[in-house]
Amino acid sequence: MVEPVANIQERYVWLGKHRGSFGAPEGFAFFVWPQTVRGLIERDALAPLKARLTSEARRDLDVALATAAELERGAIIEAIKGSDRWPAVWERAA
């Protein structure tokens, strides 16, 4: 998992810098999920995708989803508590 970028061009630049030995990808697929990663897992919204994967790829996807859910949980906690990345409203400079 990587930090988000503003557009596809920035992603290609990132890929060239960090994974240049792999060459350019044939394409990207994105979708917007307006809920939490946890909700994505609980609703099994990726079942059609998982059905097309090998057992090893399904395990990899499950690990990636668990990692994403943990990162999301940490970000939510950090946002609630406030931090440098997520300053509390009362800590913001006016």
Count CB neighbours of 72 within 10 A. Answer: 14
pLDDT digits (tens, 9 = 90+) for 2-14: 788 888 889 888 8
Question: Is the pLDDT score of 66 beyond 60?
Answer: yes
pTM of the model: 0.70
The whole-chain average pLDDT of the chain stands at 87
Residue of 84, 72, 5 lying closest to 38 (CA atoms): 72
Provide DSSP, 28-93.
Answer: -------S-HHHHHHTTTTHHHHHTS-HHHHHHHHHHHHHHHHHHHHHHHHHHH--SSS--GGGS-
Pairwise CA distance, residues 15 & 1, whole Å: 12
Of the two residues 32 and 61, the one the predictor is more confident about is: 61
Pairwise CA distance, residues 1 & 12, whole Å: 15
pLDDT digits (tens, 9 = 90+) for 44-65: 999 999 999 999 999 999 999 9
pLDDT band at 91 (very low <50, low <70, confident <90, very high): low
- So what's the pLDDT on residue 68? 94
pLDDT band at 25 (very low <50, low <70, confident <90, very high): confident
Q: 3-state DSSP call for residue 7?
A: coil
